[in-house]
Structure 1
Amino acid sequence: MLIIEFAVVLMSIYLGARLGGIGIGFAGGMGVLALTLVLGLEPGTVPVDVILIIMSVIAAIASMQVAGGLHYLVEIAERILRRNPKQITFWAPVVTYVMTLLAGTGHTAFSTLPVIAEVSKDAGVRPSRPLSIAVIASQIAITASPISAAVVLLSGMLETSHSVDYLQLLAIAIPSTFLACMVGAFVAQRLGLELADDPIYQQRLKDGLVTTDSADKKELPVHAKRSVWIFLASIVAVVAYATAISPLVGLIEDPSLPRNEAIMVFMLSAATLIVMNCKINTAEIVNAATFKSGMSACVCVLGVAWLGDTFVSAHIDEIKELAGTILQQYSWMLAIILFFASMLLYSQAATTAALMPTAIALGVSPEAAIASFAAVSALFVLPTYPTLIAAVEMDDTGSTRIGQYVFNHPFMIPGLVTITASVCLGFLFAGVIL
């Protein structure tokens, strides 16, 4: 029966990967149906807190987007990139990393990718270099964002099992992932031919397929800046409150409002203030791109995490017997497991929810769990992730292209280097902080 049940899990994940997008969550739910009603397992735990946090954060971000806040952030990013065009391979990942860190979603990169492509082309820099590492940075920054569902989920597990504080997790994840992005940028800068020497670019230039005019500037909405300040203030409030109730600081003992609920409250309050102060129509929020992608993420986490917990909870003793000793002796193998799982699950939060509880139950140390956490960002391996596809489409020089062997695309090497560096640095920082 164990083999049959495991086959159901794998088939559900495979089906979800084939369906793509929100289909991963749909297939996960169908897998739970098969495991429970057909095979007789008890249903696992639904990650309600994670889903509610995603909904709350996305509500605030979508409100800011409707108010023009994301457009304002892109303008700031463009000014930064245009001041340093020759170093765009290093500045592009800084921009996408910071935006993802603040917003808790990598989809903010969509707005900056056209700017990166245009600036690098104007500076004579091969666009595939900054575009590839910028996409990688937008993905890995999820594992360091104080309001991302993946970070909140892992933090809750570690607090319960090892008394590792939310602030300790961020203190390890932020520097390790950021420095790793700089290592990835260093490598990306040396990949591929120079733009002037690329025959594909020269042919496209000859055929008139490469644009040279900058895109028309859109007028900044009146309350765009105000919406950004409100949103940033809410993030500061989240971190400040988490610090105040942290056992390491101890400013507030026995808080009436736990951290997860505080994140929801602050984010919903920020959305309310943006709607009121920026005079936006709430009906437009549900049509915002960030709102749609966020609600899709909720369904994905629901289906996949529920599926994984249903199977693992029923066979935790067998899993411990088979894999516990190996992971305890070779803790770095957790990063490899997370890496390949995230290739299929296409979500940092879903991968964390599906596999991290099992890893922690098997006795993986908190140092190994946090260091390996960045490996849930291997969304670049299969060249079908939305931001990756967008980067390919926005580079009309042809330098950011998918190779004939599918996996030989410009995101692969920078991604592998960045995740490897992050895991190594994570072990280093965790050894000092924990």
Structure 2
Amino acid sequence: MIWLEFIILLAAILIGARMKGIGLGVMGMVGLAIYIFLFRMRPAEPPIDVMLIILSVVTTAAALQAAGGMDYLVRLAEKILRSKPSLIVLFGPLVTYLFAVFAGTAHITYSLLPIISEVSLKKRIRPERALSISVISSHLAITASPISAATAALLTIVGDQGVTLLDILKVCIPSTIAGTLAGVLVCWKKGKDLDKDPLFLEKMKDPEFAAHIMADAKTSNEPLKPGAKTSVLFFALAVLLIVLVGAVPSILPSFGEGVSNLAVDAAGRIKMAAVIELVMLAATAAIILFCKTDTTAVAKVSLFTAGGQAVVSIFGVVWMSATFMQTNTAIIESSLSNMVRSAPWTFAIALFLLSILLFSQAATTKALMPLGMTLGILPPHMVAMFPAANGDFVLPGYPTLLAAINFDRTGSTHIGKFLVNHSFMIPGLVGVGVSVAVGFLLAGILF
């Protein structure tokens, strides 16, 4: 029976992935309906906490975008990227990494990818080199961001074992930076140089294409909105406050033991997920009030739309996956227990494989990490393998991958003939592998 249930799970995920957008969410609900009404499976707890975190963080990021703060950050990034064009393969991924860590979402990189592509072209550096690892670095950053839904989901799982937000960050930030730098190394000379690339040379025969390539790029001179810089300040203060609370949880009020709910645990302590939601939406209010941002504009920007799709997707696919895991925990545990207990790192492979299908670090963490705790994996090892949830690059359907391909007018960033032999595969595998390896090393030293 478990194999039939698993086939339904796989079918719902694959069909949903092909539908794109909210497809994963709605197909997840179809799979869940089959589980409940046909197989009589008891539904698991829906991932309300992760959904609320995504909604809160994305709303604040959208307010930042509507207030002009995103334009300000992009101009700062552009200055950095154009200052050393010959080092774009290094600076591109580092800047996108910082942006994604700061914002808690990889979708923020859409405004940076065309700049990275353009700078590469002007210096006649193959754009694939910088674009491929920049996309991977933005994904790795999600598992190092203090405000990402994935990090909050992990914290809710390992927090009861004495692991704080600071413990996660002090392992995952350096490990994912190491993974990014390893990806930079493998991309430094990736592919043919443009002057030897037959595809690019053929395109250069088109006078219009050649003229556009040779034209000098101009930085936007449009004035920033009056509250742009202030909105960045409010967003930064919110992130710092969340990190502070995560590092020193004793500063939060305690209400004594009682009935737990979404905001307070059984010991009477405010949950970290609730703190993130509270702080981020309060920062949204500050941006709207003090930066004179129109609330309707916040709901119309691209980040808010992307966040809404993410909420629906995670709602359906995680609820379905959690129901499957809950029903079959005993069988799965007996099958994996010996292997995982003798070599805990092998659980990272399961995380990676599931993330390929779910296209979400948060969904993967919420769906599979509790099983790791059930199998007896130590919390430090759970933190170390957290970056393994970044397998969403393997199937080239994720929006950031497609955006990078579209922004590269040379065609060097591409999807291969066999689908998986694309530009992001090698830097992605190297980046994730090195991040997990360094994570285990740091976990052994710091815990």
TM-score of Structure 1 vs Structure 2, range by shorter chain: over 0.9
Could you tell me how far apart the structure 2 residues matched to 1:235 and 1:180 are?
A: 23
Aligned to 1:167: 166
1:392 pairs with 2:405: yes
Aligned to 1:317: 330
Aligned to 2:281: 268
* 1:167-316 equivalence runs, <5 A: 167-208=166-207, 209-210=209-210, 211-212=212-213, 213=215, 214=217, 217=220, 219=222, 220-245=224-249, 250=250, 254=254, 257-316=270-329
Q: Which amino acid aligns with 1:64?
A: L
How much does 1:11 deviate? 2.2
Aligned to 2:42: 42
Q: Which amino acid aligns with 2:143?
A: T
How much does 1:193 deviate? 1.2
How much does 1:251 deviate? 5.1
Deviates more, 1:400-409 or 1:95-104: 400-409
1:383 pairs with 2:396: yes
How much does 1:31 deviate? 1.3
Q: 1:363 aligns with which of 360, 376, 388?
A: 376
How much does 1:37 deviate? 1.6
How much does 1:52 deviate? 0.8
SS of residue in 2 equivalent to 1:46: coil
SS of residue in 1 equivalent to 2:21: coil
Aligned to 2:120: 120
Could you tell me how far apart the structure 2 residues matched to 1:19 and 1:337 are?
A: 25
Q: Which amino acid aligns with 1:180?
A: G
Could you tell me how far apart the structure 1 residues matched to 2:341 and 2:366 are?
A: 20
Could you tell me how far apart the structure 2 residues matched to 1:58 and 1:261 are?
A: 15
Could you tell me how far apart the structure 1 residues matched to 2:271 and 2:69 are?
A: 29
How much does 1:218 deviate? 5.1
Could you tell me how far apart the structure 2 residues matched to 1:356 and 1:314 are?
A: 16
1:83 pairs with 2:83: yes
Q: Which amino acid aligns with 1:225?
A: K
Q: Pick closer, same or farther for the CA change 1:35–1:56 going to 2, 3 Å.
A: same
Unmatched segments (≥5 aa) in structure 2? 256-268
> Given that residues 9 and 31 in structure 2 are in contact (C-alpha distance below 8 angstroms), is that contact kept between their aligned partners in structure 1?
yes
Could you tell me how far apart the structure 2 residues matched to 1:344 and 1:313 are?
A: 19
> Given that residues 328 and 365 in structure 1 are in contact (C-alpha distance below 8 angstroms), is that contact kept between their aligned partners in structure 2?
no
Q: Pick closer, same or farther for the CA change 1:425–1:269 going to 2, 3 Å.
A: same
> Given that residues 136 and 393 in structure 2 are in contact (C-alpha distance below 8 angstroms), is that contact kept between their aligned partners in structure 1?
yes
SS of residue in 2 equivalent to 1:144: coil
Could you tell me how far apart the structure 2 residues matched to 1:303 and 1:388 are?
A: 23
Q: Which amino acid aligns with 1:48?
A: I
* 1:8-27 equivalence runs, <5 A: 8-27=8-27
Could you tell me how far apart the structure 2 residues matched to 1:378 and 1:166 are?
A: 23
Could you tell me how far apart the structure 2 residues matched to 1:189 and 1:397 are?
A: 17
> Given that residues 245 and 251 in structure 2 are in contact (C-alpha distance below 8 angstroms), is that contact kept between their aligned partners in structure 1?
no
Could you tell me how far apart the structure 1 residues matched to 2:369 and 2:103 are?
A: 23
Aligned to 2:353: 340
Q: Which amino acid aligns with 1:153?
A: A
Q: Pick closer, same or farther for the CA change 1:314–1:403 going to 2, 3 Å.
A: closer
Could you tell me how far apart the structure 2 residues matched to 1:396 and 1:10 are?
A: 35
Aligned to 2:264: none
Aligned to 2:101: 101
1:73 pairs with 2:73: yes
SS of residue in 1 equivalent to 2:411: coil
Q: Pick closer, same or farther for the CA change 1:11–1:276 going to 2, 3 Å.
A: same
SS of residue in 2 equivalent to 1:273: helix
SS of residue in 2 equivalent to 1:77: helix
How much does 1:216 deviate? 6.0
How much does 1:426 deviate? 0.6
| Alignment TM-score, normalising by the size of structure 1 | 0.95
Could you tell me how far apart the structure 2 residues matched to 1:12 and 1:178 are?
A: 34
How much does 1:36 deviate? 1.1
| Identity level (%) | 40
Aligned to 1:417: 430
How much does 1:105 deviate? 0.4
Aligned to 2:344: 331
Could you tell me how far apart the structure 2 residues matched to 1:253 and 1:289 are?
A: 36
Q: Pick closer, same or farther for the CA change 1:407–1:8 going to 2, 3 Å.
A: closer
> Given that residues 53 and 260 in structure 1 are in contact (C-alpha distance below 8 angstroms), is that contact kept between their aligned partners in structure 2?
yes
Q: Which amino acid aligns with 2:357?
A: L
Aligned length, in residue pairs: 429
| Alignment TM-score, normalising by the size of structure 2 | 0.92
How much does 1:330 deviate? 2.3
> Given that residues 143 and 374 in structure 1 are in contact (C-alpha distance below 8 angstroms), is that contact kept between their aligned partners in structure 2?
yes
Q: Deviations over 1:181-235 (max 9, x none)?
A: 0111011002111122212111111213252332561512222111111111111
Q: Which amino acid aligns with 1:128?
A: E
Unmatched segments (≥5 aa) in structure 1? none
Could you tell me how far apart the structure 2 residues matched to 1:218 and 1:409 are?
A: 36
Deviates more, 1:393-402 or 1:415-424: 393-402
Q: Which amino acid aligns with 2:73?
A: L
> Given that residues 301 and 353 in structure 1 are in contact (C-alpha distance below 8 angstroms), is that contact kept between their aligned partners in structure 2?
no
Q: Deviations over 1:125-148 (max 9, x none)?
A: 111111111000011100010000
